[in-house]
Amino acid sequence: MLTRQWMGRMVVALALLLAVLPASAQELPDSSSAAVVTDQSDDSGGTTSDQSPPSSADATPTAAVDPQAVITQWGPAPTMGADADQAVARRWFQDQNTKRARWGVPTANRDPYLDWEAQNALRTYLNQPALPLPNGLSKPNAAAQSPQSDRAVHVEPQFWTVSDGLWQAWLNTFEARIPLDWQLERPDEPFFTREAYLQVQEWRRQRFDRYRLLGVAGSVVNNQQPQVLPDSDKAQLEQIAPGSVAAYQPQEYENSLVAVVGYDPWINQDGSLRP
């Protein structure tokens, strides 16, 4: 009798337990369902926490550089003709003084009378008639009394149709490099100093470095077709001035001529200094 009563109670309890289990399972969603909800936005417009990295499509695009802003910052490119010829002379003289200032040695002055001398030296080289002396010009005393002088016409390897300032900035990227052998042999000694300049006798390698008074004239050789600037050079310009390639559409003329006359040296050929 007791056994039958106990068995009946067990059946009732088991039935009640089976009735409760489905409801409990509905109250506890599995982990995969919860993960899907976490990655979605809610209906109210807010977003839930998303731990996945943003895709490249979500990145903010880089704003294009206004070409006019580049030209305003760096200056206009010279137009071909007389303006480009003058730019050849300006760039040579600017680079000359930039290098001297880097070394800490005397920079040069440019004189209009000596420019006229250089212009006629260039015209002689090109088999053109000499120009008459402009009114009001005379040879400066420092040039007239100079114990040494020099003049030459040489070929510059290239002329780019960018601004003078951007051209100089490009030159600086390699002219300001310290030679590797100096870095290895004298890692603690600065290279661009007046003492180092005298030690390596830089003035012997740079023909007009010694002169404090210069005349300069230039010419872009006009019997050549311009070439599109190589991609590697364009990339360097973009590193210096983003947007410059679009702003200038740079072209390259392979040859240009520079005539230079120099007077009043600050250092003699034997290395002794002049006042």
Give the helix/strand (H/E) hosting 95.
helix 82-103
pLDDT at 61: 45
Asked which of 171-175, 221-225, 266-270 is least confident by mean pLDDT, the reply is: 221-225
How many helices and strands (H and E) does the chain possess?
12, 7
- C-alpha span between 119 and 133 (Å, rounded): 11
pLDDT at 221: 85
pLDDT at 33: 34
- C-alpha span between 130 and 40 (Å, rounded): 83
Express each pLDDT in 234-254 by its tens digit.
Answer: 999 999 999 999 999 999 998
What are the residue boundaries of the structural domains of the chain, listed by start? 79-265
The proportion of the chain whose per-residue pLDDT surpasses 90, expressed as a percent, equals 69
pTM: predicted TM-score of the whole model, two decimal places: 0.76
- C-alpha span between 134 and 87 (Å, rounded): 21
Nearest of 273, 251, 216 to residue 80 by alpha carbon: 251
Express each pLDDT in 35-64 by its tens digit.
Answer: 333 333 333 344 443 444 444 444 444 467
261 touches 154 (CB < 8 A): no
**Residue-wise DSSP of 183-209:** HHH-TTS-SSSHHHHHHTTHHHHSTTT
CATH class in words for 79-265: alpha beta
Contacts with 125 (C-beta within 8 Å, 6 or more apart), sequence order? 153, 257, 259
Express each pLDDT in 95-128 by its tens digit.
Answer: 999 999 999 999 999 999 999 999 999 999 999 9
